[in-house]
Amino acid sequence: MRLFARLVGALLLAAAAVPPSVHAAEVNFTTDFGFYGRQSYFYVAYDKGYYKQEGIELNFLRGQGSIDAIKKVASGAAKIGFADAGALVLARGNDGIPVKLLAIVYASPPHAVFALADSGIKMPKDLEGKTLADSAFSAIPLVFNAYAQAAGIDAKKVKWITAEVSSLPSLLATGRVDGIGQFTVGEPLLADAVKPKKLVRFAYKDAGLDYYGNGIVATEQTIKEDPQLLKGFIRATLKGMRDAFADPAAAGAIMHKYHKEISAEVAAGETVKVRELAVVTGRPLGAIDESHIERTIAVMQKAYPIKHPVKAQDMYVPGFVE
């Protein structure tokens, strides 16, 4: 009986020492846009049980754009989201939405406009007088003013229309619009959709812009109340990223396993594109650099009116990438 009592006491002490976030927690996570091969690393982490090892039962929600993802997180529909840093600057400065970045994935700009090579659009200036399409909540039109300034385009001469995400490749391939907004990580999917036609790409970073793209976000309340859960989510995600970057083909196969409509080959190609944005020499994967946050804020403040000043500390919280 004494031995049994000691054993029970030891188990109780051990349980008390376990952080609350280790216990199974159901977590809703929203993507930025739909479900695509570029998100393979999240599914690698899910498939290999990395989230479960952190005590997380993860549910994936389909996002409709970075603005939508930020709003889902702010409303509590999702506890964690994947969203664009530029869109977050506007959300903080104009609407006071209390959401912050915890880790960065797209460490350089992913935003781009794609046109068909046979359209006569050869350089950024050729976009003037043209009609471009993107979804209602996409960050690409939001950041277009900054790109236009850097590339010498009169943004007022470019017309943007709203379309469903799923229809964008078809709109481009059939010539119903002159170009579409698309992240560079989506180029393999888009190239597959318009073949045998070829693409011409106008990446915002090619105009000399240097700012952060997408990262992992959560509300200030969640950051305060459950930091261990957030650290566990980021730890698991980064493990998934490392695995996916080391073997994009395997990552593509895992993505296809969960979303049969996604080609494993296209998902592998998109994973390679994500790796190109995410890996920064001399910096830990996912780590946020404050000076880069400040550059992101400066780009958005130059391109758009912002009601209230936004500082770096309004945008992110350090210490979540180990």
- Please write down the HEC assignment for all residues of the chain: CHHHHHHHHHHHHHHHHCCHHHCCEEEEEECCEECCHHHHHHHHHHHCCHHHHCCEEEEEECEECHHHHHHHHHHCCCCEEEEEHHHHHHHHHHHCCCEEEEEECCCCCCCEEEEEHHHCCCCHHHHCCCEEEECCCCHHHHHHHHHHHHHCCCHHHCEEEECCHHHHHHHHHCCCCCEEECCHHHHHHHHHHHCCCCEEEEEHHHHCCCCCCEEEEEEHHHHHHCHHHHHHHHHHHHHHHHHHHHCHHHHHHHHHHHCCCCCHHHHHHHHHHHHHHHCCCCCCCCCCCHHHHHHHHHHHHHHCCCCCCCCHHHHECCCCCC
Token digits of residue 1: 């009986």
Residue bearing tokens 């188990």: 11
Residue bearing tokens 């400065």: 93
Rounded Cα–Cα distance for residues 85 and 104 (Å): 9
Token digits of residue 202: 């106008």
Domains of the chain, by residue range, sit at 25-108+212-315, 112-207
| pLDDT at 2 (0 to 100) | 53
* pLDDT tens, residue by residue, 3-37: 444 544 444 444 444 444 445 799 999 999 899 99
| pLDDT at 16 (0 to 100) | 41
| pLDDT at 24 (0 to 100) | 73
Tell me how crowded residue 148 is: count the other CB atoms within 10 A of its CB.
21
Contact 181, 132 (CB under 8 A): yes
| pLDDT < 70 positions in the chain | 1-23
* pLDDT tens, residue by residue, 195-252: 999 999 999 999 999 999 999 999 999 999 999 999 999 999 999 999 999 999 999 9
| pLDDT at 55 (0 to 100) | 97
Burial class (CB in 10 A: 0-12, 13-18, 19+), 160: middle
CA–CA distance from 257 to each of 29, 223, 240 (Å)? 19, 32, 16
Radius of gyration, alpha carbons of the chain: 21
Contact 116, 170 (CB under 8 A): no
**Domain 112-207 in CATH: superfamily?**
Periplasmic binding protein-like II (3.40.190.10)
| pLDDT at 21 (0 to 100) | 41
**Domain 25-108+212-315 in CATH: superfamily?**
Periplasmic binding protein-like II (3.40.190.10)
| pLDDT at 113 (0 to 100) | 98
Tell me how crowded residue 120 is: count the other CB atoms within 10 A of its CB.
11
Domains 25-108+212-315 and 112-207 share a fold: yes
